[in-house]
Amino acid sequence: METNKLPLLIEPDIIEDSSSYDNLLIVDLNKAETYLKMHIPGAMHLDYLRIIAGNKPVMGLVPDDAVLTSLFSALGIDADTHVVAYDDEGGGRAARLCWTLEVAGHQRYSLLNGGLHSWANEGHSTEATPTPPTAKTFQLARNPEPAADSAYISQQLNNNDCRLLDARSPDEYNGIKKFAARAGHIPGAINMNWTEAIDTSRNMRFKSDDELLALLTPLGITQDKEIITYCQTHHRSAHSYMVLKHLGYERIKGYPGSWSDWGNNPDLPVE
């Protein structure tokens, strides 16, 4: 079966028989020990740290083109590959992979709704034997649209057409917890903890579209605005980015580096 019509947010039942799809690659972003105990049959393991780069104290940056090209080629991704990403933490690491693929110019990807929780808890088969990758040639074409940097954000601080969505905990947002030189948040940013979008009663899936919009709309996170998501390193906020993309928001960006970048730069304003 063709993969070009697979949805962004995909249910376990759809990929139960993954071998029936042409060019489908399932990528597991769990810890290695979890993968070796249990994973979706045929899934490739990918260490989350391989899809991020750092320049301490700034972390969560996008690796350079050569690193991403080598990594995605070795994993077995080419222009025809449809990637389905999952993890066991509610989708943060998997969402960051999806966002990184988009930055690298690859649009064919899905996020498994609920990840390993929905898959395993709803009776789908698992295996413990690692699956070796089959290398392909990944052609990277860097796409600037999904990413924002501090310079771009600085220009939007007084722009009523743009909203900043801070996906960290309220304590981080309010400056009670500090994981950078400075505490607080980007001026004007609105806080919605990324976990608010997760339905723990349905195996860590996204909450329903109506529930998500009921959370976002009163905060001014509406589809007529440009929305920039950030957290500490654009891990949690990658999940928020995918929530917005799933809901049909068209003007969305993620901030690699996030607060580890902004909060450690004394030249940038803080609330």
Q: Are residues 19 and 105 in the same domain?
A: yes
The answer to whether position 4 is within a domain reads no
Tally of structural domains, the chain: 2
**Active-site pick, 77, 231, 238, 244:** 231
Note down pLDDT in tens along the chain; length 271 residues.
Answer: 667 789 999 999 999 887 789 899 999 999 999 999 999 999 999 999 999 999 999 999 999 999 999 999 999 999 999 999 999 999 999 999 999 999 999 999 999 999 999 999 999 999 999 999 999 999 999 999 999 999 999 999 999 999 999 999 999 999 999 999 999 999 999 999 999 999 999 999 999 999 999 999 999 999 999 999 999 999 999 999 999 999 999 999 999 999 999 999 999 999 9
pLDDT over 90, % of the chain: 96
Q: Are residues 13 and 93 in the same domain?
A: yes
The answer to whether position 211 is within a domain reads yes
CATH number of the domain bearing residue 98: 3.40.250.10
Q: What is the pLDDT of residue 58?
A: 98
The answer to whether position 251 is within a domain reads yes
The answer to whether the beta carbons of residues 256 and 234 sit under 8 Å apart is yes
How far is Cα 110 from Cα 270, in angstroms, rounded to an integer?
Answer: 35
How far is Cα 240 from Cα 140, in angstroms, rounded to an integer?
Answer: 25
Q: What is the pLDDT of residue 19?
A: 73
Q: Are residues 176 and 94 in the same domain?
A: no
Q: Are residues 19 and 96 in the same domain?
A: yes
Q: What is the pLDDT of residue 1?
A: 67
Q: Are residues 242 and 181 in the same domain?
A: yes
End of a domain among 75, 101, 121? Answer: 121
Q: Are residues 84 and 177 in the same domain?
A: no
Range of the domain at 70: 9-121
Q: Are residues 117 and 203 in the same domain?
A: no
The answer to whether position 185 is within a domain reads yes
CA distances from 55 to 52, 62, 95, 123, 256 (A): 11, 11, 22, 42, 12
How far is Cα 262 from Cα 18, in angstroms, rounded to an integer?
Answer: 41
How far is Cα 1 from Cα 21, in angstroms, rounded to an integer?
Answer: 5
* Residue 98 appears among annotated catalytic residues: no
- Tokens for 168? 């960290």
End of a domain among 102, 121, 140? Answer: 121
The answer to whether position 134 is within a domain reads no
Q: Are residues 166 and 115 in the same domain?
A: no
Q: What is the pLDDT of residue 2?
A: 64
Q: Are residues 71 and 167 in the same domain?
A: no
End of a domain among 103, 121, 139? Answer: 121
The answer to whether position 267 is within a domain reads no
Please list, in sequence order, all residues whose beta carbon lies within 8 angstroms of the beta carbon of residue 87, skipping any fewer than 6 positions away.
28, 29, 30, 48, 93, 94, 115, 116
The answer to whether position 49 is within a domain reads yes
Q: Are residues 185 and 245 in the same domain?
A: yes
Q: What is the pLDDT of residue 20?
A: 83
Q: What is the pLDDT of residue 61?
A: 98
The answer to whether position 108 is within a domain reads yes
